[in-house]
Structure 1
């Protein structure tokens, strides 16, 4: 569950760019993460539910609660895991959700690693 060296480098650069862009505006996202499946990689931050969202991912998420509504302990579909994995699955619909490999989630304001929420543990393992 740590991702490749290249994905972790990509995530570090993504974090640095976000920090440089938003450090004075206090608009840093709560969390960022990287995900990969073989040669495909994506990084993203927490925010709004992705639009469009792939149907495979949506079907799993709505088992928890409607998109954008409070799930177990977070709003369903707004996590960085969802936003990043949506990029990968949308490119190759045949990828099983369980085959995605994630980096650790990071809080850009502090660099602290964050434990996955119960919603994401339920969907991504």
Structure 2
């Protein structure tokens, strides 16, 4: 997959949110092969969370509890990766490719949180 395409999609989505004055903490693009998804940070519905991702998140702590400074299951990485895993369930979590996380309010690149580093490493 062309990572430049994923980065561009994430940047355009962040600009679109900024123009609408919608400011989630972060947005990120995730993908593998031709499946790409750009998502925002927000609590993920436990009803759509893939088992593979749920098990990894629960190994860190309870869903939606604060751990390492962030709430488990609320990151844009989790939301975007879940979409990719729904389409490509055979993938390992560390095979998902991510764009840099962007904060739409400032358009700054944001480092990956500790929970996501653990989840997707």
Same-fold status (TM-score > 0.5): yes
Unaligned runs of 5+ in 1: none
- Corresponding residue number in structure 1 for 2:8: 9
Post-superposition shift, 1:49? Answer: 2.0
Please point out which of 73, 77, 80 is paired with 1:81. Answer: 77
Query: 2:7 touches 2:29 (CA, 8 Å); kept in 1?
Result: yes
Deviates more, 1:65-74 or 1:77-86: 65-74
- Count, aligned residues: 119
Please point out which of 40, 51, 55 is paired with 1:55. Answer: 51
Residue 91 of structure 1 pairs with residue 81 of structure 2: no
State the alpha-carbon separation in 1 of the partners of residues 81 and 94 from structure 2. 11
Query: 1:29 touches 1:108 (CA, 8 Å); kept in 2?
Result: yes
State the alpha-carbon separation in 1 of the partners of residues 79 and 114 from structure 2. 16
The 3-state SS of whatever aligns with 1:7 is helix
Query: 1:61 touches 1:67 (CA, 8 Å); kept in 2?
Result: yes
Q: How big is each residue's C-alpha offset from its partner over 1:14-57, in whole Å with a ceiling of 9 and x where there is no partner?
A: 11221122x1xxx4100011111111111101011234111110
State the alpha-carbon separation in 1 of the partners of residues 61 and 75 from structure 2. 14
What is the TM-score normalised by the length of structure 2? 0.92
Query: 1:49 touches 1:67 (CA, 8 Å); kept in 2?
Result: no
Unaligned runs of 5+ in 2: none
The 3-state SS of whatever aligns with 2:70 is coil
Please point out which of 33, 37, 41 is paired with 2:36. Answer: 41
Runs of 4+ displaced beyond 3 Å: none
The 3-state SS of whatever aligns with 1:109 is coil
